[in-house]
Structure 1
Amino acid sequence: MEKFVITKNANDEFQFYFIDKNGDTILRSSGYTRKFMCEKGVESVKSNSQDSSKFFKKTISDDKVYFNLKAFNGKIIGMSKMYEDRISRDKGIEFLKEKAPNAPIDDQTKSSDKYIKPSSLVY
């Protein structure tokens, strides 16, 4: 099942990931010093993912592509994984639009204070 996962990163910051049913990361946030701000970030993804104008498609030098999702204030809420091509990236955007609004939140900070990272992150 698709879900948001909240973890603590190596810098002891809260971070969220949106993952698909296979555990692959679609979107990740930067670090938050406070958990409630991380939770607000998740809610921001849920609402802003419904607005196509909030997605910013990017290409890096070796022709890998990704997207950023921005909030109404222009700040980046999350960055996608790297995709091999534009078609895959665009499918990732559509997937996020479809699944994020109703996705549950798996708060892994409750079970452990250790650094927990989804296994499929490749950036």
Structure 2
Amino acid sequence: MAGRYVLSQSGDQYHFVLKASNGEPILSSERYATKANALGGITSVRNNSPIDARYEKRTAANGQFYFVLKASNGEPIGTSETYTSSAGRDAGIASVKAHGPDATLTDNT
């Protein structure tokens, strides 16, 4: 099973999650006011996910690790789940790089 983007709607807002081939979420988007903007966010993940420089590795206040994928303009596209180790975070980045460009779309709107 390949990775997939799951597009959802909550009220008048849209959101997507990139899931790995095992079904686990690896990247979550911000909320968008329109479906077209959410689809544009997916396109941005497809384009930017293969590029190492687009990933910002971070440590949360509780000591857990996560990353943010950014567009070429520096704006965040998506944020990862948190991980208990930096190695887990790095594996999450590798998973986004592997699945992001070619993941299918499941539209639940």
Alpha-carbon separation, structure 2, partners of 1:99 and 1:28: 14
- Taking structure 1 as the reference length, the TM-score comes to 0.84
Letter in 1 for 2:91: K
Higher strand share: 2
Counterparts of 1:11-90 in structure 2, within 5 Å, are: 11-90=11-90
Q: 1:74-113 counterparts in 2 under 5 A?
A: 74-109=74-109
Question: Corresponding residue for 1:116?
Answer: none
Q: CA deviation at 1:26?
A: 0.4
Counterpart Cα distance in 2 of 1:73 and 1:61: 26
Q: CA deviation at 1:74?
A: 0.8
Measure, in 2, the Cα distance between the counterparts of 1:105 and 1:99.
Answer: 12
Could you tell me the TM-score, scaled by structure 2's length? 0.94
Gapped runs of 5+ residues in structure 1? 110-123
What is the one-letter code of the residue matched to 1:83?
Answer: Y
Structure 2, unaligned runs of 5 or more: none
Q: Using the alignment, how far apart are the partners of 1:45 and 1:108 within structure 2?
A: 19
**In structure 2, what residue type is equivalent to 1:57?**
K
Aligned residues: 108
What percentage of aligned pairs have identical amino acids? 35
* Pairwise CA RMSD: 1.0
